[in-house]
Structure 1
Amino acid sequence: MSSPTPSPHRPATTTPPASPAGSAVDPSTEPSVEPRDDGVDDDQDALEEAGYREVPDADGGRAGRGWWDANAEEYLAEHGDFLGAADLCWCPEGLREADAHLLGDVVGARVLEIGAGAAQCSRWLAGQGAHAVATDVSGGMLAAGRRLDTAAGTSTALVQADARALPFADASFDVAFTAYGAIPFVPDAARVHAEVARVLRPGGRWVFAVTHPVRWAFPDDPGEGGLTATRSYFDRRPYVEIGRSGKVLYAEYHRTLGDHVAELVGAGFVLDRLVEPTWPEGHERTWGGWGPVRGARLPGTAIFVTHLPPGERGQ
């Protein structure tokens, strides 16, 4: 069956098949994909059911690690040319940080990337003079990042970590960001914001890109079929994929714009800008449900640019 998930992450050709708090990756070695402890091999657990339904938070929250471990190579094979080995692309619309400057001046800044995947963004930031650290819950994605480093002759700081339990001291970073990482894949994104607030210095900046919430109401179809709303924008049941074993293989969570703002304010952040990238003329690439047909009519990405007020500490 085709997947209705509104995520730009899932490789469009893929057959759908608690994280460690933080383990540093030695630049001289390749990260290993740690074995799962639930007795079920995601590669062998065939998809049985997909749709919008409630699942236990613990099951949905840990599904991402196994899914990304299993699909890292296919994801990069499909999207690696668009993302580049060292570039900060915010979204399927192709908005690059080199043009958008959403992070501000990063020269000499301590920058934390959440949900970094293969760390293309952090690798680019290091080339701009930032002291970047890339984190991801998936050892498989970080292993791919190390291979990119080897090919490029670079050495990116990689740390395996759950974004809800960052292994860093308070006020360790000047800037934190994620381009579609972590937030859509956990049931408790408020914990992500709280952790980012904790590790940011007062006055620090937090920028994150997610699927535009309005897209949740539309089918995951980049063509004309994706232009008619078929479900409620206010239906917050996650999109999940369940294996024959009953295990949650994949989970993605929806938050309205109001939900995102409430979570940010609750963590002590101030919203400075909400960026809704337009679909560029001549950009013909489709990525899951993202493409020029829908992109001309509906926003596909929301980028929240925020800061922690001076004197404020994470709540």
Structure 2
Amino acid sequence: MKNGNTTTYFILLGLFDHTEAQRFLFAMVLTTALASLVGNALMIFLIHRDVRLHTPMYFLLSQLSLMDMMLVSTIVPKMAADYLTGKRSISPAGCGLQIFFFLTLGGGECFLLAAMSYDRYVAVCHPLRYPVLMSWRLCLRMTAGSWFLGAADGLMQAAATLRFPFCDAHEVDHFFCEAPTLLRLACADTFVFEFVMYICCVLMLLVPFSLILISYSLILAAVLQMRSREARKKAFSTCSSHLFVVGLFYGAAIFTYMRPKSYRSANQDKVVSVFYTVFTPVLNPLIYSLRNSEVKGALRKYMGQCSALSHD
């Protein structure tokens, strides 16, 4: 590891030590990651297979599951391989790819959750006009926009971060390459870039979050005016799962990227990163399937078909 841009590798210090307790935590994280991959893959499969789920709402949900699967696949296999083999090096290209995919998927999920909140607003407040206000064309545009904005942010931050010269201390105190952590190794003034990155994070987080708050404020006002208790219950049930996912995702992201630099610590960053790269993706399919009768119906139908085939 040399000064300037002649960096040959970085060393990821990782998340766990080789103690008995740390091995148990590693096994728990790995099991959770595998459950996340299986759960999100099953969600995508059910949405694709069941015609009743071919609606904009479930298409957006399938995109959320796809992003979560890719996020786990970007982070966990490298972390697990490093822990099991003891080889914790990563090339600048590999580091850049991790930063790019991590920010692409994280940023894309921010805007996708905002699109899902608009979908719920239209479904609750304007149900008769839903096919017009939430057309397939608009749904596809919002989805493509989410991927594009996330990719633009990821490409910009990955390219800019790796352009800095890095000093002899090449150990990254993290289990994957994350831009704020990598910048601590730069032997150049990063103030301007960190300020720009902070503004980007504010826009990527607070703009969609504000749209979500507006959507659910309008939903709450509409629900409170409903006379039917059954209608209110159905509206709350439809939206509460989405709100729970939003709270988990945005809470962890805001804590990580919008804290002042003086309040950051490596251990806190690693714990929060595990939360939104491993545990949040496994909660999404659980929340949406356990609280959604249509998804549970599609799962029962598929299990029934599998059972019938096994008895033939």
Structure ranking higher in helix proportion? 2
Q: Give the greater-gyration-radius structure (CA).
A: 2
**Would you call these one fold, judging by a TM-score over 0.5?**
no
Higher relative contact order (CA 8 A, sep 6+): 2
TM-score for the superposition, normalised by structure 2: 0.24
